Amino acid sequence: MSLWVIQRDLLLAIRRRADVLTTLFFFIIVVSLFPLGVGPEINILRTMAPGVVWVAALLASMLSLGRMFSSDYLDGTLEQMLLSPQSLAMLVLGKALAHWLVTGVPLVLMSPVLGIQYDLSADALLVLTASLLLGTPVLSLIGAIGAALTLGLRGGGVLVSLLVLPLYIPVLIFGAGAVEASAAGLGAGAHLSLLGAFLLASLVLAPWATAVSLRISME
Amino acid sequence: MIWASWSDFFSMGGYGFYVWGSYLVSVACIAGEIALVFNRKRTLLKHLSLIHESTKQEKRNETTS
Amino acid sequence: MAINWFKYSSPASFYFLAGKMIPLFSIAATILFAAGLYIGFFVAPTDFQQGEAYRIIFIHVPAAWMSMFLYVMMAIWAGIGLAFNTRLSSMMATAIAPTGAMFTFLALWTGALWGKPMWGTWWVWDARLTSELILLFLYIGFMSLQAAIDDPRRADKAGAVIALVGVVNIPIIYFSVKWWNTLHQGATVSVTQSPKMATTMLTGMLIMSIACWMYAIAVILIRTRTIILERERHTAWVGELRGVAQ
């Protein structure tokens, strides 16, 4: 059932290709801004790289959260989804994964290229990409809760970030920490497994919470 | 009474600024919050009584109907 | 004789019950504050390691405890309000948030002021201070979400969801910040607030905690009554009440 939603959302996303690219370009610009701000000194950049890339990924995925439900909310398809016999949680899971495919995956593919900008070593790049691959779906899933809660509110965009950022912090800590641990030779196994745990937990809990929030917002 | 004199008490062994800084802000926050809560209650009651006055008649109809 | 607890769950009867309880709690709070401060400043000995600066503990620790305790209480009331659709519990949750945020800010402020003489800087990325800061963001998120929604019913439920999601995340945030902190600074800076703990210091701190608790209950009850009035303005009993109030 959620496959249908994913397929539909991907179709919609491809038609409005601009939305996909804006998030990606935002990510690239933010990541490239930091060296300009901090200075070209390579050692500083290398230690800063994981944090910068992760924070940029966080902000990029959060920017596009607003659009996750708003288009369906405005033209009424969201109400149909609520009324449909299918379980709302599965539908929401589909929407969140579609959002991840549209915003998360391009970031993951882009991060090695940007990592080179920060002169990261090969295995650090590998760990960075792996951590982003594990982390970005969690961002979309938790973000779905925020998007559902602030549906149709004025100033919703800012509000979503206020609601959701504190919840992103564990993912940020272990995402950036994974790269740093592997760079320090400690091995990123622990961090990546924790990110995996977050992923599984949010896969189970977030859709249900988003479904509850959607019902509340759509009353 | 472990303080030799009041000035000794206020200097707080050299840390007076920090100790009194934190306590002053605490008192300010608590007093501020109490003031806020009562202010909110007062403006609400004033607002309600205004409604009460202006719609006294309509209020009676509403409760009787 | 089974006490009919549900009698007090209706806003009308709770309004009068709270009315009677508020003076009790406020008097208890003032007495305990006075006793706690007296013990803290006049009875507790000087700390051999930190000199007089440790006296900030008498407001810092109670405030930190209260901030966490109130967030959990807020989440519980919000959860009950969401599950049983009882308006009053959601009102309680909305009433708790500002006091909780105030205590979190106090904990941060007094923590920073205490950190300056002890650690030399106003702000140290210590695991506890950081998770306290994140807790403040959670409070602000809850309050701003409720402020952004006009319809009180939806605001209650939306607030409940974010409070429950937040309370599930608090342990995760706390442990990830603790892990993150140890990673960065090698061995954690062992924050010995003060060698545990001369009895008078301990009693002073406990009395202050109870005083903060009494104060919190009193303020929250007052705010709940105001919210009840706000939301029940069209009901008959508020009408008569106002008649009396003039």
The model's pLDDT over A173-204, given as tens digits with 9 standing for 90+, comes to 899 888 888 888 888 888 899 999 999 999 99
Q: Is the pLDDT of residue C185 over 60?
A: no
From residue A208, alpha-carbon distances to A91, A97, A175, C161 in Å are 10, 14, 25, 11
Shortest Cα–Cα distance, C63 to chain A (Å): 21
What domain range includes position B43? Answer: 37-65
Please judge whether C113 and B21 are an interchain contact, meaning their C-beta atoms are less than 8 angstroms apart.
yes
Tell me if B40 and C226 make a contact (CB, 8 A cut-off). yes
* Residues of B in Cβ contact (< 8 Å) with C46: 2, 13
Contact status of B23 with chain C (Cβ, < 8 Å):
yes
pTM, two decimals, is 0.87
What's the structural domain count of chain A?
1
Question: What is the Cα–Cα distance from C170 to C72, expressed in whole angstroms?
Answer: 10
Give phi and psi for C47, each to the nearest 5: -80, 130
User: For A166, which residue in chain C has the nearest alpha carbon?
Assistant: C134
Give residue A60's domain range: 2-218
What does the pLDDT look like over C143-178, one tens digit per residue?
A: 999 999 888 888 999 999 999 999 988 888 888 887
Q: What pLDDT score was predicted for residue C243?
A: 59
Residue in A149, A198, A202, A218 to test binding to C, most C beta-carbons within 10 Å:
A149
* Chain A residues close to C101, C-beta within 8 Å: none
- Residue C225, CA distances (Å) to B41, C20, C59, C243 in order: 8, 12, 27, 17
Q: In this predicted structure, what is the pLDDT of residue C242?
A: 61
Contacts of C239 in chain B (CB under 8 A): 52, 59, 63
Which of A143-152, C41-50, C67-76, C214-223 shows the lowest per-residue confidence on average (mean pLDDT)?
C41-50
Q: What's residue A202's pLDDT?
A: 92
**ipTM associated with this complex:** 0.86
User: Which residues in chain C are contacts of A216 at CB distance < 8 A?
Assistant: 154, 157-158, 161
What phi and psi values does residue C51 have, to the nearest 5 degrees? 65, -135
Residue C124 and residue C142: Cα distance in Å, rounded? 26
* Percent of chain B topping pLDDT 90: 9
CA A108 to chain CA centroid, Å, is: 10
Is the Cβ–Cβ distance between C204 and C56 less than 8 Å? no
The predicted pLDDT at position C186 comes to 39
pLDDT digits (tens, 9 = 90+) for C187-212: 333 444 444 567 778 888 889 999 99
**Yes or no, beta carbons of B49 and C117 under 8 Å apart:** no
Q: Decide if B49 is inside a domain.
A: yes
Mutate to test the interface with C, among A169, A172, A195, A218 (most CBs of C within 10 A): A169
pLDDT of residue C182: 63
- Using alpha carbons, select from B49, A64, A84, B21 the residue that is nearest to residue C233: B49
Instruction: Judge whether B19 lies within some domain.
Output: no
Q: Decide if B47 is inside a domain.
A: yes
C-alpha distance from A14 to closest chain C C-alpha (Å): 32
C in contact with B (at least 3 C-beta pairs within 8 A): yes
Query: Is B11 within the bounds of a domain?
Result: no
**Location of structure tokens 């969690």:** A138
Residue B18 in domain: no
